[in-house]
Structure 1
Amino acid sequence: MAPLDRNTNGVFAIAPTPFDEEGAIDFDSLSRLVDFYGDAGVTGLTLLGQMGEAPKLSHEESVRIVQHVLKRTDLPIVVGVSAPGYAAMRALTVDVMSAGAGGVMIAPPNTLRTDDQIVSYYEGAADAIGADVPFVIQDYPLSFSVVMSPAVIARIANAAPGCVMLKHEDWPGLEKISALRQLEADGSMPRLSILCGNGGLFLDFETERGADGAMTGYCVPDLLVDVVRHTAAGDRDAAHDVFDAHLPLLRYEQQPGIGLAVRKYVMKRRGILASDAQRKPGAVLSARARGEVDYLLSRLALKDGRVVVTA
């Protein structure tokens, strides 16, 4: 399986971790989920991200999930290895890279406050996982409370050769993408693949600003694939037309605190997951919220025939 590199593009779907009602990992649903993503045309998968409930998993469970997925698909896999300390990060990296992962993703701890602290942290992380391991910077200040300027990202990219990708989730962040591409054009930093998150909420313009695609988990990944494909083909109106049709559901799913609950509920309705349960503690949708999601699904199905619910 090819490792990540600075030109990786397309859509890497962030996979939720399926659980049954008792909180055990549901590997049958995980198999269906992997097949579903493949049928949707994604380029790769990201496991054990924030929406994969990684902090609720043991090391052994994390490795089993990665091994299961790698046996199920030939798609390249990125694995979230963020941890409070470098030892746990190193141990998980060694195991998942040995299993065949294409790279790892590292989020900053929320204790980092200065630019020098951020750069030093990633230099240490790169040393811990090994210089030959491609890694992704996860830049999500809304969740991690760590603000990385384009200059800081450039410093990390220059200091750590293994840094090949940015998961861009700053908000607002369009100007940041443009600034990073300008730094690359000026020779101030090496090229990074930029894949965008935030549920795809700004993907229509992020791709126009120079992003290489998406790394996120919207419950209808076909939409993400369409936007990236149409933009690459230069068909701006087609990209925006399909994006606009999905925007109401995409916006609803992006609500902080309940986004994963919405995503899992839709995937249950689509027959992919047997249960929409999260491992405790986790959010639960109210009956009113489920009704609102059902309404959005019914409206979306009128515009996109791929959205079919089965339960």
Structure 2
Amino acid sequence: MKLTAEQKGVVVIAPTPFLDDGSIDVPSIDRLADFYVQAGTTGITVLGQLGEAPKLAFDEAASVVARYISKAQGLPVVVGVSAPGFAAMAALSKQVMDLGAAGVMIAPPNTLRTDDQIVNYYRQASRAIGEDIPFIIQDYPLTFSVQMTPGVIRRIVSENPACVMLKHEDWPGLEKISTLRGFERDGSMRHISIMCGNNGLFLDFEMSRGADGANTGYCFPDMLCDVVRLYGEGKRDAAHDLFDAHLPLIRYEQQPGVGLAVRKYVLMRRGLLSSAALRQPAAPLTAQTREEVDYLLARLAKHDRRAAVAP
């Protein structure tokens, strides 16, 4: 199975589970994969921006990818392969595609300054990994400091047949989605899937602008699946009502620096991770932060019983 431009739904960003001693927690990978399938996600992204990929040795990264693929029950698995150089990117891309991955995600290095540099980078990256490997553009200027205009994205899509998806994480970015869909309507750009990140923070309006779904790792991906489904059924108010109940926790989890620790803590509270540990170097959650997250979960449980987790 290879990723296509018709991808929709929720392609969840999976964390890399660790035990308290820093070793990879394989049983938690299995629980997460089973949960993602049962929740109705349409794909899994491994070794994404919050998958702690830089903390993994090459063989560890391959083992995590292989385990998720083996447990995904046919869901497409996408792998983040961003690297400082094309040699490492190409080696990892070949290995994960041989393991059965559906495609790869590529983020731009923060050294790119001009539109031509950005377009040339993706042209060279596709050639380096193999033009038969579907790839996703990760557009996250708040982290990568690379600003891609809609025109630049159109050029990348036009010059690279293997580009099938945009992971949209610009902020503000609603007008960018509208502009890209406008390019498709006027025939100046072929159709690609647009899946949105930023922890789903703007998913309620991104869907109405033409996004195909979410590509993020919020600790309630089952809620994101419900929001996308409700939009597909034309139930806009119901989608917003459910989303609004989760918004305080989404906002809290989106904090730079502490967000992944919060996400893992909630996933542990939900019984999906054995430990909330991040691989070092990492700062553990403080007692006050845990108390605030517990408070948000208790308030959310009044509206969504999935948040009524055991202490």
- Distance, in Å, in 2 between the alignment partners of 1:172 and 1:58 is 35
Q: For 2:231 and 2:20, how far apart are their aligned partners in 1?
A: 40
Partner of 2:87: 87
Letter in 1 for 2:105: M
Shift of 1:308: 3.5
| Unaligned ranges ≥5, structure 2 | none
**Cα distance, 1:72 vs structure 2:** 1.0
- Alpha-carbon distance in 2 for matches of 1:309, 1:222: 15
Displacement of 1:300: 0.9
Separation in 1 of the partners of 2:310 and 2:59? 33
- Aligned CA RMSD, in angstroms, stands at 0.9
Shift of 1:23: 1.1
CA offsets 1:199-246 (integer angstroms, 9 cap, x no match): 000000000000000000000111110111111111100110100111
Q: 1:159-208 deviations in whole A, cap 9, x for unaligned? A: 11000000000000000000001111111111110000000000000000
Q: TM-score scaled by structure 1?
A: 0.98
- Larger displacement relative to structure 2 (179-188 or 101-110): 179-188
The aligned amino acid for 1:147 is Q
* Gaps in structure 1 of 5+ consecutive residues: none
Q: Distance in 2 between matches of 1:210 and 1:283?
A: 38
Tell me, what secondary structure is at the counterpart of 2:83? coil
Per-residue deviation, 1:285: 1.4
| Distance in 2 separating the partners of 1:41 and 1:65 | 21
Q: 2:236 & 2:269 partners in 1: Cα distance?
A: 31
- Residues 106-126 of structure 1 show CA distances to partners (whole Å, capped at 9, x for unaligned) of 000111111111001000000
Q: Which amino acid aligns with 2:47?
A: L
How far residue 310 of structure 1 moved from its aligned partner, in angstroms, is 2.9
Deviation at 1:59, TM superposition (A): 1.4
- Distance (whole Å) between structure 1 residues aligned to residue 120 and residue 110 of structure 2: 14
Structure 1 counterpart of 2:4: 5
User: Aligned partner of 1:96: which letter?
Assistant: V
Map residues 1-311 of structure 1 onto 2, 5 A cutoff: 2-73=1-72, 74-311=74-311
- Tell me which amino acid in the other structure corresponds to 1:272: L
Task: Tell me the amino acid that sits aligned with residue 252 of structure 2.
Answer: Y
Read off the aligned partner of 1:242 and give its amino acid letter. Answer: L
Deviates more, 1:162-171 or 1:31-40: 31-40
Please identify runs of 4+ aligned residues in structure 1 that moved more than 4 A: none
Q: How many residues align?
A: 310
Q: Could you tell me how far apart the structure 1 residues matched to 2:256 and 2:172 are?
A: 16
- Sequence identity of aligned pairs in percent? 65
Question: d(CA) in 2 for partners of 1:220 and 1:175?
Answer: 27
TM-score normalised to the size of structure 2? 0.98
